[in-house]
Structure 1
Amino acid sequence: MVKALDALALLGEHPDGVTAAQMARKTSHPFSTCYRLLNTLVSTGFARYDAQDKRYHLGLRVFQLAHTVAAPQGFESSAVPVLQRLTERTRESSVLHVPDGDRALTVRTEGGPQFRATTDPGDRAALHSTASGKILLALSEPAASEQLLRDIELEPRTAHSLTDREELARQVATARERGWTSQSEENDLGMVAIAAPVLTPSGRLLGAVTLAAPLFRSTVAQLEEHVPALLDATRELGLVLPER
């Protein structure tokens, strides 16, 4: 347990990530021990492995457990003013999600003036039944997207949920082409949503922003009128959010 906590603390001290060999040198633990600890942390979501630079980084599970004490300049707080302006502009709830394996993790929710979203920070939503999930599938690395489209369970959340894998792939392709997507009552009865990706200037996927509304306030077509405002917000977030 102590060695695992040492590994987590070291990952927290190195936002650019560390290799197993670097961890072994810094902690004086055997390489085999560090390698095993790091991969255990990856398998449980407390760390993530970047195959491109072969480094380990803190995972989203750490955030999920501690989002209420996020650093003042951290990922969550950087998003707050942007989401607030989006909600003020559209008068609908706005939500920031980030990819978390085969789920979309809610990071921040800004409730609308008359109705709040049905998700809270720390919630993990299915990819196939949410607007945020579909746009995350669309803009993920091609290999990861293909694997998820092939392997995720298409469990119906409502009678409107997608359970046809070919139709899901078609909708994801359309979302990738136009840069946003929508859904109607696929995840929660009586709720509609649109979502767009948050990308860095280099095109790296950071997350997605959803605008959600109850059907008694808005149809999907009416909500889609807010796509320009949504895209303005995601472009701004792509500039101000720190890369995870």
Structure 2
Amino acid sequence: MSSAGDGTVGKALDVLDLVAAQEKPIRFAELQRMSVLPKATLYRLAQTLVNQGMLVHNPEGGTYSLGVRLVRLAHAAWRQASLAPIARRHLDSLSVDTGLTVHLAQMDYGHVLYVDKRNALESAAMFSDAGKIAPAYCTGVGKAMLAFLDADELDQILGMQSFHRFTPTTLASEAVLRQSLERTRTRGFATDREEHEAGVICVAMPILSDEGRVLGAASLSGSTLRTDLKSLEAHIPRLRQCVEAIAEEATHWAFPVEGNETGGRLG
């Protein structure tokens, strides 16, 4: 959510976030129930977003949905502001070599944003399609990134976590998560033991710049019906090769990072 100083732009982005979160057209009355904004303000912002092509209003059903202008912006952001374009060939190679599903993710305001997903021939059904957002505290890529943040940034992001228990194995408290992150730092990779989705496990490693800054994370995932963690961990050396190759290429790739409006060269 936007902060108090973000003004009209921040409020408008909050409205877009609410519509996007529904994954289906939403009526104004539903939007009003979810929003903290006064009815008149919410209606004015919704109309402005429609006028700008960011939302589409269906007068017959009285619903709002995301506009096609956002699709164009999303494609531009994928090319300019994510690791996905430079990582794709490395992810494809890793998926072919291991026969597993590979995910690429970056941190987005305390959550995990999946920016690419490369499928092996037999892919398990998973939540984490590219473009989806998931909690950082109970996903392999999330824990891989959290473990290598500096102390202040880690404290800030942990304060954003809900610690909802998705499955019996979810690490549902900050204290338990911090213990897990310490193990991740020591061995260099994180695991997901069905912590976000029952039946889905993974191993994940961070993608780090030369200075140790977290750029993102990659993971190898599989269904418990087809594999186990010991088998996944056998692929850690190949996963390490992949993330190191992505990190090396990222040092020559300029894209904006959170908190830096002008962008900057990585590495």
With normalisation by structure 2, the TM-score equals 0.65
Q: 52, 66, 84: which is aligned to 2:74?
A: 66
Q: Aligned residue for 2:141?
A: 132
C-alpha contact (below 8 Å) 2:82/2:115 kept by paired residues: no
The answer to whether structure 1 residue 230 and structure 2 residue 242 are counterparts is no
The answer to whether structure 1 residue 80 and structure 2 residue 84 are counterparts is no
The answer to whether structure 1 residue 214 and structure 2 residue 187 are counterparts is no
Q: Aligned residue for 2:199?
A: 190
Which blocks of at least 5 consecutive residues in structure 2 are unaligned?
18-69, 257-267
Partners of 1:92 and 1:139 in 2: how far apart?
25
Aligned partner letter, 1:153: S
Partners of 1:193 and 1:42 in 2: how far apart?
33
Offset of residue 195 of structure 1: 0.5
C-alpha contact (below 8 Å) 2:217/2:243 kept by paired residues: yes
Q: 68, 74, 92: which is aligned to 2:100?
A: 92
Moved more, 179-188 or 74-83: 74-83
Partners of 2:119 and 2:247 in 1: how far apart?
21
Q: Aligned residue for 1:145?
A: 154
Q: How does 1:42-61 map to 2 (within 5 A)?
A: none
Partners of 2:13 and 2:227 in 1: how far apart?
41
Offset of residue 67 of structure 1: 3.6
In structure 2, the CA distance between the partners of 1:37 and 1:92, relative to structure 1 (3 Å rule), is same
What's the RMSD between the two structures over aligned residues? 3.0
C-alpha contact (below 8 Å) 2:110/2:160 kept by paired residues: no
Partners of 1:184 and 1:195 in 2: how far apart?
12
Which blocks of at least 5 consecutive residues in structure 1 are unaligned?
1-32, 47-61
Q: 146, 156, 170: which is aligned to 1:161?
A: 170
| 3-state SS in 1 of match to 2:147 | helix
Aligned partner letter, 1:164: S
Q: Aligned residue for 2:21?
A: none
C-alpha contact (below 8 Å) 2:111/2:135 kept by paired residues: yes
Aligned partner letter, 2:92: Q
In structure 2, the CA distance between the partners of 1:218 and 1:68, relative to structure 1 (3 Å rule), is farther
Instruction: Return the index of the structure with the highest Cα Rg.
Output: 2
Aligned partner letter, 2:212: G
C-alpha contact (below 8 Å) 1:67/1:121 kept by paired residues: no
Q: Aligned residue for 2:186?
A: 177
| 3-state SS in 2 of match to 1:139 | coil
Count of aligned positions: 196
In structure 2, the CA distance between the partners of 1:181 and 1:72, relative to structure 1 (3 Å rule), is closer
| 3-state SS in 2 of match to 1:174 | helix
Offset of residue 188 of structure 1: 0.8
Identity of aligned residues (%): 23
